[in-house]
Structure 1
Amino acid sequence: MKKICITLLFACTIGLYAQTAMPEDAKGIGLGFALNANGRRDFGITAEITAPWFFKNSFSFKTGGGIFFRKTDAWKPYYSLDFYFLGGTLMKTANIRLYGGGGPIFLFPASTGEKPVMLGGGGFFGFEFYMSALPVGSSYFIELGGSGFAASKRLDVNGFTVKTGFRYCIPFNKSSGEK
């Protein structure tokens, strides 16, 4: 009985070590595409690049850009550029990352006759659902948050934001491939 208990304890220890060690080996650059609802009825399409996660998969940053269409101005477009700092964690019981982020947002007019570039800020929390055992490869995500710009500027871009899309994380090393 003692040998069985020691063997089970050893097997559980190795399994627990392997479970906690896996995410550390899986690092890569994420390329994403998303559909957005921004402010008061604006629709957008964005692309983004996410840096590898650092400090035991708890810190990263991402940048992205997109084109948005104002429903109030006959779907007139404007452009955005954002840079977010991210903090999060991988769930131990599922292939899901819970994270939050915040940072500056720049809005660019579609034509030269409009107001100049606007600087604002945004923040969100998100869920990323991985399709593999490691946090690399394909994933789907959803981010919910808000954005704000100066009161003297356009108020229609202030408010609640929703982003959902697909991300592919390109692994850095051979051990972080999909399993």
Structure 2
Amino acid sequence: MSKPPENSPISFFLNGSPLSLSVAPGRRVVDLLREDLHLTGTKEGCGTGECGACTLLVDGFPMLSCLMLAAQLEGRNIETVESLEKDPVGEKLITSFEEKGAVQCGYCIPGMEMTALALLRNHPEADREDIRKSLSGNLCRCTGYVKILDAVEDTAKKLTAPKEMP
């Protein structure tokens, strides 16, 4: 009988904090986050990279955590939905999603918000078509896309609105 592979040490930044741990070679990131680190905001929808519910940011880019192995996190900067409220753009996204009624069951929303966060950080003046294209890999079965698009578009407007003078 063959011996199972040994765990490997990895170090990365998770939501701004350094983290070092030892993981099995085939451990998926979504399982590491949810089961080992108890960060349950990241959802597993399909497990095959089709729905986007498990989206997180890796070095600022949206990635599907169900398709990533934990070893791929080595040296990277990982952001999960739990970090949104600590981010100025993330705070605005959360508020807009609430104000526009873009949350129903909440299952797809973490992935939607993380994808939108990446877009708006790099392209705060994104228009509705930019937003639609950016979110095209994220599926929603409850709320529908209109309210979600409204929420992200509202956030973009808040980010690019002229600042009031004191």
TM above 0.5, yes or no, is no
The structure with more strand, counted as a fraction of residues: 1
Interval containing the TM-score (normalised by the shorter chain)? under 0.3
**Bigger radius of gyration among the two:** 1
Q: TM-score, normalised by structure 1?
A: 0.24
The structure with more helix, counted as a fraction of residues: 2
